[in-house]
């Protein structure tokens, strides 16, 4: 039974972080060593990011809060609020994005109304509260209180895949199911200044964003493109458990993003693709570039460089991932959905075009998906 992403909508906070301005701020922080200052400049300049978005309004250079908690514009100091302070902002600001993205996705799904939603799956690794975002979405959108609710927390950048996989399973089990999947990540809440290379890298690449998808097996007519969810696979690489991690500290969550991660991905990416492509033997023996689209989670520029080189993809095939990184940075779980939305909005040349998608996270976990972009209007 085919299951489709019927709509895919995104949302971002209002405050924009310009990469060059952010670099100047972080490079001027007291306590940085000479090496730390060089690392800030290198990480920010080489990230291939122009802008990011943040739910922390006071991180804007134009903000002048009376009692700054994250950034003091008078002294140009990046501050270190407690995890409690950061999480309280998450509960408020993430809720807004969960609701905004979810409402937009349902509104854009052809033939789907709010009353049709049977399941809600929310995803985030950048904060916690309970009653959680799944509850908030049901209440704010006026969904049936008997809607089945699930929350996937603290999984990291690959979590959109387990969410879509679960949505597909619900629809296969019940052909009348309509699943609303929403990923919201406020990575900027956990920004801090440090001489630690992992912390500097996190400050240079992570941003905030939300993405929501309506998933259903219902037969719907209309000119809007959809994505058929064909196959999923999960692979754990034999090394890398300590190279990528996400821990809770006293002053926010602490990212571990070792410099060797791109090399681990380069070494094991073809092996991670094998079980996915084996599900369709006609694809297994082809050059990777013969698959039309590649929706790669842009965890960083070096990761995209390694993927493009190892799989011998064309520069054009990495444009959606690189443009998403350039405009939004790495928004953890929501990012790969931004990449897929980019593909849905581009003019299609055929009625059905294949998409191979990948995301990477703690473990090192490699999630893969084989999809089909369907354009009924052609």
Q: What residues are labeled active site?
A: 157
Which DSSP state fits 347?
P
Nearest Cα neighbor of 342 from 359, 355, 323 is 323
Buried b (16+ CB within 10 A) or exposed e, 59-69: bbeeeeeeebe
CA distances from 219 to 25, 129, 355 (A): 52, 36, 21
CA 20 centroid distance within chain:
23
Q: What CA–CA distance (Å, rounded) separates 105 from 181?
A: 9
Nearest Cα neighbor of 158 from 366, 6, 376, 374 is 366
Q: What CA–CA distance (Å, rounded) separates 371 from 283?
A: 13
Q: What CA–CA distance (Å, rounded) separates 7 from 25?
A: 39
Long-range CB contacts (within 8 A, 24+) of 145-149: 147/117, 147/118, 147/119, 147/120, 148/118, 148/119, 148/120, 149/119, 149/120, 149/121, 149/122
- How far is the first Cα of the chain from the last one, in angstroms, to the nearest whole number? 23
Nearest Cα neighbor of 25 from 263, 282, 183, 203 is 203
Written as six digits, the tokens of 42 are 């290198």
CA distances from 135 to 54, 106, 122, 150, 344 (A): 24, 17, 9, 9, 29
Q: What CA–CA distance (Å, rounded) separates 101 from 106?
A: 9
Q: What CA–CA distance (Å, rounded) separates 300 from 150?
A: 29
């Amino acid at each position: 039974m085919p299951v489709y992403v019927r709509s895919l909508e995104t949302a971002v906070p209002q405050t924009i972080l310009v990469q060059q301005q952010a670099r100047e701020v972080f490079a001027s922080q007291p306590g940085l060593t000479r090496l730390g200052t060089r690392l800030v400049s290198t990480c920010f300049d080489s990230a291939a990011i122009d802008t990011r978005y943040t739910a922390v309004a006071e991180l804007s250079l134009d903000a002048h809060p009376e009692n700054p908690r994250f950034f003091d514009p008078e002294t140009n100091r990046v501050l270190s609020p407690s995890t409690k302070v950061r999480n309280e902002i998450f509960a408020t600001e993430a809720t807004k994005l969960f609701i905004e993205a979810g409402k937009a996705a349902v509104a854009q799904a052809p033939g789907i109304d709010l009353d049709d939603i049977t399941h809600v799956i929310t995803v985030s690794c950048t904060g916690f509260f309970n009653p959680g975002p799944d509850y908030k979405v049901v209440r704010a959108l006026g969904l049936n209180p008997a809607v089945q609710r699930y929350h996937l927390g603290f999984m990291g950048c690959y979590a959109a895949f387990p969410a879509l996989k679960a949505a597909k399973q619900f629809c296969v089990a019940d052909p009348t199911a309509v699943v609303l999947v929403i990923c919201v990540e406020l990575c900027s809440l956990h920004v801090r200044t440090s001489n630690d290379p992992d912390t500097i890298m996190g400050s240079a690449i992570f941003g905030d964003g939300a993405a929501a998808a309506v998933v259903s097996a219902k037969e719907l007519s209309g000119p809007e493109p959809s994505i058929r969810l064909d196959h999923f696979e999960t692979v754990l690489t034999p090394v890398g458990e300590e190279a990528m991690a996400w821990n809770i500290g006293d002053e926010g969550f602490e990212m571990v993003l070792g410099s060797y991660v791109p090399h681990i991905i380069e070494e094991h990416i073809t092996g991670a693709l094998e079980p996915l492509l084996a599900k369709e033997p006609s694809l297994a023996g082809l050059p990777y570039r013969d698959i039309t689209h590649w929706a790669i989670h842009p965890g960083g520029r070096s990761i995209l460089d390694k993927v493009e080189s190892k799989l011998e993809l064309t520069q054009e095939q990495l444009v959606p991932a690189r443009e998403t990184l350039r405009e939004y940075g790495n928004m953890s779980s929501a990012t790969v959905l931004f990449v897929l939305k980019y593909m849905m909005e581009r003019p299609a040349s055929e009625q059905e075009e294949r998409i191979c998608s990948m995301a990477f996270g703690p473990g090192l976990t490699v999630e893969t998906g084989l999809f089909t972009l369907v354009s009924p209007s052609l």
